[in-house]
């Protein structure tokens, strides 16, 4: 049985999702404006583009596009915002952030509706993303009150030496369309907790939900200028902001190719940079693993957000003895996923966020088959309305195939086999990416080997424990640098200042 379109199995009388009806009457999709210097407004030149619903391929609203004049207004505003916010006590900043988190939670239904309409993910996933974002704000609100310095014993009596943590200055952040709220909140909350102002360039494809995130801070009482929100032509905006003397730090989430360009630009202008880039997560399943549990965890992780996740499990390596059983179980579970409009009850996977991804997946699959790969299930677009794609499993793909080297960013994985753990670790470490890695084993020795020897910023063993606010989130090598979670994340927005004073 092929993966099913969820909507086709559900009677219209049942088309209710966690308290939301499917009519757009209650939750109309809004046009999205810029938020510059405390005002929601169109761009000065009036430019705007359509926002497309990936479930239908049709336009559902518009987003305003900033011109250079709008960016200059945002830059002046962020300077003023920084002066006010960096002078606001950590205690007050923390309280305001907590209020924003509560406001975001209180609007979860309406915001989830917008997020699903513009991005495609199932409504429960959209709700989960918003509630997780509120937890991220709470986490950083607490961290704001713990940016401790040090007292350093001096060489002379009468000399006091200490360090304090200071906000680095106005930040420019660039976030993508796969988690429109969660990618933005890590940057917003980190910057605000540290006392920085921030200009956020959120994704043009999915603008309304990040605008709602910003609105939660505005309605919590954030002073004007502390957050400015812009959309526009990505390269024009990043070039203007990264090179501008007002901006002291940039933070980017997106592809490795774009990340390299922005990091190079930041380097030329001596700007601090955090880069959360692509991955190609290896998954090592040892013969001693609990296979049923591994399949359950991996199916849920693989098809989350239709696979458009930087930590999505991609290159499965399964030990010979359990290979056939694992593949059969994973293929069965993949086929029974319900694919459909994210607004419909029972949908487990929505469409891809844009049609570029479909063309890319089709190219990767054709190339993999040319490299000896077998399509074990899926491999095709579903229908011709919207951007739906089948959960796809490829087996026995040679390492020269593109999909073994490029992040597929879709509901597709490769399952290859290995005989010794050394072999699997060698393959896991073959690529220059180092974001997430997965291991499944009941042996503590194997778990230790995987954890210590697979090169990645994050290794999760026997479960998917990634992306909680309190744990680090970030990669190494071509997956970028810096971390956006845990107690170290706020450091990205702080510098250490020495104060040494001699008594008269
Ligand atoms: P892309 O490389 O064109 O864009 C990725 C993101 O970067 C988008 O949000 C885009 O608006 C932004 N961007 C592009 N050029 C920019 C520039 N010069 N300055 C500032 N921002 C810029 O690719 P895409 O088709 O949107 O996405 C495909 C690839 O991007 C995926 O294969 C994946 O590797 C990567 N991606 C990664 C993440 C992540 O979470 N790390 C998220 C989305 C996309």
Q: What is the pTM of this model?
A: 0.95
Has residue 2 been placed in a domain?
A: no
Integer Cα distance of 8 and 62 in angstroms:
30
Q: Which of 129, 276, 390, 407 is catalytic?
A: 276
Integer Cα distance of 97 and 216 in angstroms:
9
* Structural domain boundaries enclosing 164: 14-277+483-495
Q: Are 437 and 444 in contact (CB under 8 A)?
A: no
Our mutation pick for probing the ligand 1 site, out of 255, 309, 481, counting the most ligand atoms within 8 A of Cβ, is 255
What CATH number is given to the structural domain containing 198?
A: 3.40.605.10
* Residue 5: predicted pLDDT: 52
Residue 276 annotated to the active site? yes
* Residue 9: predicted pLDDT: 37
Shared domain check, 164 and 140 = yes
How many folded domains does the chain comprise?
Answer: 2
The answer, yes or no, to whether any atom of ligand 1 lies below 6 A from the CB of 178, is yes
Our mutation pick for probing the ligand 1 site, out of 206, 254, 263, 412, counting the most ligand atoms within 8 A of Cβ, is 254
Residue 406 annotated to the active site? no
* Residue 23: predicted pLDDT: 47
Q: Which of 196, 310, 344, 478 is catalytic?
A: 310
Consecutive H or E run containing 301? helix 291-303
Shared domain check, 237 and 200 = yes
Task: Using 70 as the pLDDT threshold, list the residues of the chain that sit under it.
Answer: 1-26
Q: DSSP label at 31? A: P
Our mutation pick for probing the ligand 1 site, out of 66, 173, 176, counting the most ligand atoms within 8 A of Cβ, is 176
The answer, yes or no, to whether any atom of ligand 1 lies below 6 A from the CB of 17, is no
* Centre of ligand 1 from the C-alpha of residue 190, in Å: 21
* Residue 21: predicted pLDDT: 41
* Residue 3: predicted pLDDT: 52
For 185, the token pair is 């909140």
Shared domain check, 442 and 298 = yes
Integer Cα distance of 316 and 323 in angstroms:
10
What CATH number is given to the structural domain containing 303?
A: 3.40.309.10
The answer, yes or no, to whether any atom of ligand 1 lies below 6 A from the CB of 356, is yes
The answer, yes or no, to whether any atom of ligand 1 lies below 6 A from the CB of 278, is yes
* Residue 27: predicted pLDDT: 82
């Amino acid at each position: 049985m092929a993966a099913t379109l969820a909507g086709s199995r559900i009677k219209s009388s049942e088309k209710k999702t966690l308290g939301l009806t499917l009519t757009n009457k209650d939750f109309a999709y809004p046009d999205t404006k810029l938020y510059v210097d405390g005002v929601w407004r169109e761009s000065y030149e009036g430019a705007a583009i359509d926002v497309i619903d990936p479930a239908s391929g049709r336009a559902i609203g518009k987003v305003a596009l900033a011109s250079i004049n709008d960016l200059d207004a945002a830059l002046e505003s962020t300077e003023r915002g920084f002066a006010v916010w960096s002078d606001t006590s950590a205690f007050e900043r923390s309280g305001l952030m907590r209020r924003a988190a509560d406001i975001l939670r209180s609007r979860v239904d309406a915001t989830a509706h917008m997020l699903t309409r513009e991005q495609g993910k199932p409504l429960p996933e959209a709700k989960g993303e918003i509630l997780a974002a509120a937890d991220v704000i709470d986490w950083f609100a607490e961290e704001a009150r713990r940016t401790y310095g040090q007292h350093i014993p001096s060489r002379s009596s009468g000399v006091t030496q200490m360090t304090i943590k200071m906000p680095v200055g106005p930040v420019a952040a660039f976030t993508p369309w796969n988690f429109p709220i969660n990618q933005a909140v890590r940057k917003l909350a980190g910057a605000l907790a540290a006392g920085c102002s921030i200009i956020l360039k959120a994704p043009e494809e999915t603008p309304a939900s990040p605008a709602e995130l910003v609105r939660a801070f505005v309605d919590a009482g954030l002073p004007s200028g502390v957050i400015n929100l812009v959309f526009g032509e990505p390269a024009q905006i990043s070039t203007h902001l990264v090179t501008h003397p007002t901006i002291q730090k940039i933070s980017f989430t997106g592809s490795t190719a774009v990340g390299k360009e922005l990091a190079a630009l930041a380097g030329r202008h001596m700007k601090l940079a955090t880069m959360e880039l692509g991955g190609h997560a290896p998954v090592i399943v040892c013969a001693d693993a609990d296979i049923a549990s591994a399949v359950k965890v991996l199916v849920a992780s693989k098809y989350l957000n239709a696979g458009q996740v930087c930590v999505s499990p991609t290159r499965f390596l399964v030990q010979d003895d359990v290979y056939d059983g694992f593949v059969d179980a994973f293929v069965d579970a993949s086929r029974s996923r319900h694919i459909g409009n994210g607004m419909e009850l029972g949908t487990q996977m929505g469409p891809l966020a844009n049609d570029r991804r479909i063309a890319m997946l089709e190219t990767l699959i054709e190339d993999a088959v040319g490299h000896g790969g077998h399509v074990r299930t899926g491999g095709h677009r579903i229908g011709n309305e919207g951007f739906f794609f089948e959960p796809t499993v490829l087996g026995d793909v040679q390492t020269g195939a593109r999909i073994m080297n490029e992040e597929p960013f879709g509901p597709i994985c490769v399952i290859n086999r290995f005989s010794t753990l050394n072999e699997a670790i060698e393959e896991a470490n073959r690529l220059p990416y180092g974001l997430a890695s997965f291991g499944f084993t009941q042996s503590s020795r194997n778990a230790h080997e995987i954890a210590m020897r697979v090169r990645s910023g994050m290794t999760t063993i026997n479960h998917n424990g990634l992306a909680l606010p309190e744990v680090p989130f970030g990669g190494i090598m071509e997956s970028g640098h810096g971390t956006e979670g845990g107690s170290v994340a706020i450091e990205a927005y702080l510098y250490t200042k020495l104060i040494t004073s001699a008594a008269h």
